[in-house]
């Protein structure tokens, strides 16, 4: 008899597969985060037909890094964020996020 695969959360998948996803060590994780954010900015500006203007900041905060990526893309619609976050998330977290990010221009 074939056993049905166990369902796991996205967070659990990421935790178990850091090496596949590019987060196996701190240096590689930092590079992967910056690359993914810049790729997203380039994709968004290309789809909108806009010449990209991208600013990347990396600041060390104690033992961690804060990565900030700003671009001139069209942003993300509020409903897209709500739908993405709502997929298995606690609605109180989503409401707090929306309250703290009035423009939701990520």
- How distant, in Å, are the alpha carbons of 26, 77, 96 from that of 105? 28, 8, 16
pLDDT in tens, 4-50: 777 878 778 777 877 776 677 888 888 888 998 999 999 999 999 99
How many angstroms separate the CA atoms of 40 and 22, rounded?
16
pLDDT in tens, 62-104: 988 889 999 999 887 766 666 666 665 555 555 555 554 444 4
* Domain residue spans of the chain: 10-73, 75-106
pLDDT score at 39: 93
Q: How far is CA 38 from the centre of its chain?
A: 11
């Amino acid at each position: 008899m074939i056993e049905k695969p166990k369902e796991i959360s996205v967070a659990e998948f990421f935790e178990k597969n850091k090496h596949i996803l590019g987060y196996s060590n701190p240096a590689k994780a930092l590079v992967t985060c910056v690359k993914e954010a810049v790729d997203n900015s380039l994709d968004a500006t290309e789809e909108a037909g806009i010449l990209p203007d991208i600013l990347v900041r990396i600041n060390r905060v104690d033992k961690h890094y804060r990565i900030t990526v700003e671009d001139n893309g069209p942003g993300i619609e509020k409903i897209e964020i709500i739908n993405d976050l709502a997929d298995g998330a606690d609605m109180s977290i989503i409401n707090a996020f929306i309250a703290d990010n009035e423009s939701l221009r990520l």
